[in-house]
Amino acid sequence: MSRSVQWLAASVVLALPALVHASVFSVLNTNDSGSGSLRQAIIDANADSAAPHTIRFAIPGIGPHTINVASQFPGVTRSMTIDGYSQAGSAVNTNTPEQGGLNTNLQVEVVGPGNVYFIYLNTTNGLDVTVQGLAMRGFLSALLGVGGNGGTSRLNVYGNYFGTNVDGSEVGAGQSGSSVAINCAQSPLQLGGPLAWQRNLISGLGGAAIVVGGPAVIEGNLIGTDASGTTAIPNGAFSNNAAITNFTYRAPIRIGGAQAGSRNLISGNHTFAISLGTPLQIANHDGLVIKGNYVGTDWSGMHALPNGYENPAFAQFGGGIQLANNGSDPNPAVIGGFADGEPNLIAFNRGSAIAVSFNAAGENFDTRANMFHHNHGVGEANIEIGALGKTANDVDDADAGANGVQNWPVVVSASQAGNQLTVTYRVDTAPSNASYPLRIDFYANVQGGSGLWLSQDSYPASDAQQPRTITLLVPAGAKAIPFVATATDANGRSSEFSPAFDVIFEHDFD
């Protein structure tokens, strides 16, 4: 191993939260049980009260090494780090999301019989368990958190491959697949992170790849692709579940983030990339944030790697983000943001960018500066609220449903002179039917969806339902930009996109 690789492997431990390891337990062979096995190391760590511990790997010979699990491992009852990167020949990923996929070199894979868990937390409170540097497949759930009413036991997941071969390729015929990668129930979860070595690959799961109950942070991962980030290895192929889903909420839940390293690539999955909520869910989204992700593209954001069913007849059942809470949700999910790195790119999907399920009248979401384009849903393929297809504006915006079925802005006229865009618009929303002021966001039009976010205006109650004329700045050198707009009330409830408006170009100041 070169000095640089040795230093990099050592940095994995240094980058973790500071722990004073009371004991180190070694895995010396690939046996399912007995002295020197991974199973025995977990048993011994559980029996040692002076936790936290580290389980390290020192399996002799040239890897990768495969540990075939015959039966259920014991539940974890002590804080510990299970460190696959300690195995000779391992190397952490050094690629950032902007540099492409993963160049991780894993040397230990753990393969289950299909009907057991690998690592599960067996104590509700007080555990801090880290799993890093392993390839895991063939389990009912590779990692399982604590259910019930949650608790404080925490699961940290860094630099692993779930559901694929040890090289990050698709599992071949006759090999053992997996159902779920991480089912964290209601215990806290840190899945991936903003540092390159923390990025996980989570693909090829027959069920949902990730089931969260919160609080959870999911960042920097590849979900639904191979290790290169260019080829689909779908999650949810045998269950019709989204790649990231949940059955309970315990805020906050953050997917992605503003840091470049926090970007998840969530592409190539069988149904939706993200579907949060179920028909029986009545809890709130309080604290749900989805920022900075690429959804439906390859790692570069330039090429299609769509989520959703290949059969266009099922387009409504797949795509980017589905919000499915049918309870009363006064706290909107925040999707995107106006700061650098916060907008999501949701493009090329075989369904809408954002869709609210048919029974989710209580949903609220605030879409901010996102790029939604080339999605292929039913009718309105970018933001669908209520019925399939574009929802027509109604007089005074008196209708009810998800996001209050907020009326979209009606553009009366627009003209461009140099880098100034003069727009006259109105929103037919009575002050009694939405919280003012309304935030009006303008975007360059891409197929009736959003490209570059251009600017915004505040539509005050004093102008409610009346034409308002404003002047916006457009990017230097851009001329006659067709644009679309959304309206979001003061409670964070966004509309669908307005129809695209073609700008009249007047003259250039140059």
Q: What span, in angstroms and rounded, lies between the C-alpha atoms of 207 and 429? A: 42
Q: Domain ranges in the chain?
A: 409-507
Token reading at 413: 């006229």
Q: Are 230 and 192 in contact (CB under 8 A)?
A: no
> What confidence tens digit (pLDDT) does each residue in 440-449 have?
999 999 988 8
Q: Which two tokens stand for residue 160?
A: 């692993």
What radius of gyration, in Å, describes the C-alpha atoms of the chain?
Answer: 24
Q: What's the pLDDT score for residue 377?
A: 65
Burial class of residue 424 (count of CB atoms within 10 Å of its CB; 0-12, 13-18, 19+): middle
The answer for residues whose C-beta is within 8 angstroms of residue 225's C-beta and 6 or more apart is 101, 201, 203, 231, 232, 233, 265, 267, 268, 298, 299, 305
Tens-place pLDDT, residues 335-394? 999 999 999 999 999 999 998 876 666 778 999 999 999 998 655 678 888 666 678 899
pLDDT at 262: 97
Digit-coded pLDDT (tens) for 32-60: 999 999 999 999 999 998 878 999 999 99
Q: Is 396 helix (H, G, I), strand (E, B) or coil?
A: helix
Tell me if residue 470 falls in helix, strand or coil: strand
Which residue in 279, 304, 428 sits closest to 356, CA to CA? 279
Q: Report the C-alpha gap between 417 and 414 in whole angstroms.
A: 10
Tell me the residue type at 182. I
SS3 24: strand
Taking Cα atoms as reference points, which of 81, 133, 92, 83 lies closest to residue 1? 92
Residue 284: both structure tokens together: 């709130």
CATH class of domain segment(s) 409-507:
mainly beta
Higher pLDDT, 208 or 178: 208
Q: Are 474 and 508 in contact (CB under 8 A)?
A: no
Tokens of 69: 């699990």
Contact 293, 266 (CB under 8 A): yes
